Structure 1
Amino acid sequence: MRFAPALLAAGMANEQFGKFGVWQPHLLVTPEAVRELEELGYGAVWLGTSPPADWDGYDALFADSQSIIIGTSIVNVWATPAKASADLFHRLESKYPGRFLLGIGAGHREHNDGYTKPYDALVNYLDELDEAGVPTNGRALAALGPKVAKLARDRTAGALPYLATPAHTADLRALFGPDTLLAPEQKVVLEEDPQQARTIARERAAFYLNLANYVNNLRRYGFDDQDLTYPGSDRVIDAIAPHGTPDQIADALTAHLTAGADHVAIQILGGDYVPALRTLAPYLAARTS
């Protein structure tokens, strides 16, 4: 079983890139998990929490699977030189053609020393990737605001938005037109009790309300100081980490597709992510068949 593929003009192995993928911190992703996720029909695994280019786990994830795409979400431009990212891309592309997408981003001023002019830093990084021969369709940008989103549209395969809503997805699709890759991340909690689900969500998601770029983006979509003051109102927590039954979670994820996403990167909050994704797989398949 494979979830219906998104038709991406970017040139990445379109027949392999399904509607749904999985986002997890890179140190929690194992070859065994990747193999099972591929068998369940997920089209991509996104390696989060700024995996460095010299991380020694990449090859094992590819070697134990057949077709699933693996992407970084994201390599931090302040922490990893562009040459190292380019070398990583070329090495993996030569060994596993069409299965690696280099996701890059500017991180957060709160966590990165020397964080100034992030837009200029991204432009310079892309220039260096160009010089190193990394193709446009082999890279994507973490993009929230319109300025970086336009950069993603014009100089990469597309955008990997994080902590965004379906309304944001719709706005980016309108900006991009039909051809640019749009693959938002969406946190979910597979838990029917609202209070318990919100407790789980706040343990992992409220942290982001201390980061200016996410807060500023959520303000664009109607959330105010009452919502965005740590640890967040129930309204904003429910928006950034929907909860409920497998059917309700599938609806929340499909909302991004309806809004114009090509692919949704699912981040499971609470417990082991693989069993939760195992549970969700038939519900997601039913919505894309």
Structure 2
Amino acid sequence: MSAKPDLGTFASFGMGVTPEEASAIEALGYGAVWVAGSPPAELDWVEPVLAQTSALKLATGIVNIWTARPEAVAASFHRIEKAYPGRFLLGVGVGHPEADAQFTKPLTALNSYLDVLDEHDVPTDRRVLAALGPQVLQLSARRSAGAHPVLVTPEHTARARELMGPDAFLAPAVPVVPTTDVEQARAVGRKMLELYLGLSNYLNNWKRLGFVGDDITRPGSDRLVDSLVVYGTPDTIASRLKEHLDAGADHVPIQLVTSPANVVPTLADLAGPLGLG
């Protein structure tokens, strides 16, 4: 297997990033920015961010296989790679059955998508898969650099590492609410989780982790929120994020659940406790 992608230990994860924000995030010592959502295949927002930074990596979390044609995604990958060698990681995934009308036989569809990326010479070690369940986690280790799970516990990270083996890249994204107010953190966390409490792939994954009944019924139990959403002082947050590293993660994207204006200042507050700089 090829070497794991090197995105540093911690990254920012969000719905978008401006070139100026990316430059500030890089200066704080973070190795990468993950951009969430289902971006169009052209990925034309990538180069302006990479142009404003010197070594920061950019990753998609994720390109949706139902809405972005693999041929076009491959062309975008090679365009970005030519301009900024080694600085872009392609994250792809199947999305959610409730959100994609064409969602059928997702494992078959994902394999077919990867076949096209292979045909167009997108390197295995420069792509990762959104993965929660055992089958896709194992597929991610076979046909990509590894996995990018979302809304998981350190226990899931440990199970994923066992399933994927030591050589696969594992990058669980972790939501963080920057407050020490427990009730406020739970309220913000519940609002963020509301959508996911209606998505079967997340519900099934939480069931595998032992959450049942009221835990995964809207609005979600305190136990679920406290297990998935990190909050507290910067030192407490850093300690909880590092639990994923201890469980086998290589890299932890931090999903700050806060106002856009507060993202970079909060990342600055966390940089010291995380050992960055």
Which of the five TM-score ranges fits, normalised by the shorter chain? Answer: over 0.9
Within the candidate set 158, 168, 172, 1:170 is matched to 158
Name the counterpart of 1:94.
Answer: 82
2:256 aligned with 1:261: no
Structure 2 Cα separation of the partners of residues 139 and 126 of structure 1: 10
Give the fraction of aligned pairs with identical amino acids, expressed as a percent. 49
Question: In structure 2, how many angstroms separate the alpha carbons of the residues matched to 1:10 and 1:218?
Answer: 31
8 Å CA contact retained: 1:9, 1:180? no
Pick from 127, 134, 138: which aligns with 2:122? Answer: 134
Q: Which whole-Å CA distance do the structure 2 matches of 1:98 and 1:53 have between them?
A: 19
Q: 1:283 aligns with which of 263, 273, 277?
A: 273
Map of 1:98-177 to 2, 5 A cutoff? 98-177=86-165
Instruction: Look up the match of 2:181.
Output: 193
Q: Aligned-pair distance for 1:53?
A: 1.9
Contact 2:4 2:169 in 1 (8 A): no
C-alpha displacement at 1:273, in angstroms? Answer: 1.3
- Aligned-pair distance for 1:106? 0.0
* Aligned position for 1:252: 240
* SS of equivalent to 1:71: strand
Amino acid at match of 1:43: G
Which amino acid is the alignment partner of residue 10 of structure 1? A
> Which amino acid letter does the alignment assign opposite residue 26 of structure 2?
E
* Deviations, residues 36-77 of structure 1 (Å, cap 9, x unaligned): 111101111101011222243111110000111101000000
In the other structure, the counterpart of 2:263 is 273
Q: CA deviation at 1:11?
A: 4.8
CA displacement, residues 118-145 of structure 1 (integer Å, 9 cap, x when unaligned): 1011000000000011110111100111
2:4/2:167 contact within 8 Å kept: no
Equivalent residue, structure 1, for 2:40: 52
CA contact (8 A) 2:153 2:227 kept: yes
Aligned 8 A contact 1:205 1:241 in 2: no
1:223 corresponds to 2:216 = no
Residue type at the aligned position of 2:148? L
Q: Distance in 2 between matches of 1:129 and 1:256?
A: 30
Superimposed CA distance per residue, residues 207-246 of structure 1 (whole angstroms, 9 cap, x where no aligned partner): 2111000110011111111100011111101111121111
TM-score normalized by the length of structure 2: 0.96
Cα RMSD (Å) of the superposition? Answer: 1.4
Counterpart amino acid of 1:250?
A
Please state how far the C-alpha of 1:189 moved relative to its aligned partner.
0.8
- Which range moves more in the overlay, 255-264 or 225-234? 225-234
Name 1:82's counterpart in structure 2.
70
Q: Give deviations 1:155-201, integer Å, cap 9, x for gaps.
A: 10100011111101001111122111000000011111110111111
Q: Deviations 1:10-56 (Å, cap 9, x if unpaired)?
A: 353x3xx2110111002xx1101110111101111101011222243
Q: Which residue of 1 aligns with 2:10?
A: 20
Q: Give how far 1:275 is off.
A: 1.1
Determine the structure 2 residue equivalent to 1:212: 200
Counterpart of 2:245, as a letter, is L
User: Following the alignment from structure 1 to structure 2, what is the Cα–Cα distance between the partners of residues 67 and 11?
Assistant: 17
Q: Unaligned stretches of 5+ in structure 2?
A: none
Give the stretch that moved more between structures: 232-241 or 103-112.
232-241
Partner Cα separation in structure 1 for residue 67 and residue 107 of structure 2: 16
Distance in 2 between the 1:44 and 1:121 partners? Answer: 29
Residue 227 to residue 184, structure 1, CA distance change in 2 (3 Å): same
Equivalence for 2:225: 237
Distance 1:242 1:47 in 2: 20
With structure 1 as the length reference, what TM-score do the two structures score? Answer: 0.92
Distance 2:258 2:222 in 1: 17
Alpha carbons 1:141, 1:159 under 8 Å: kept = yes
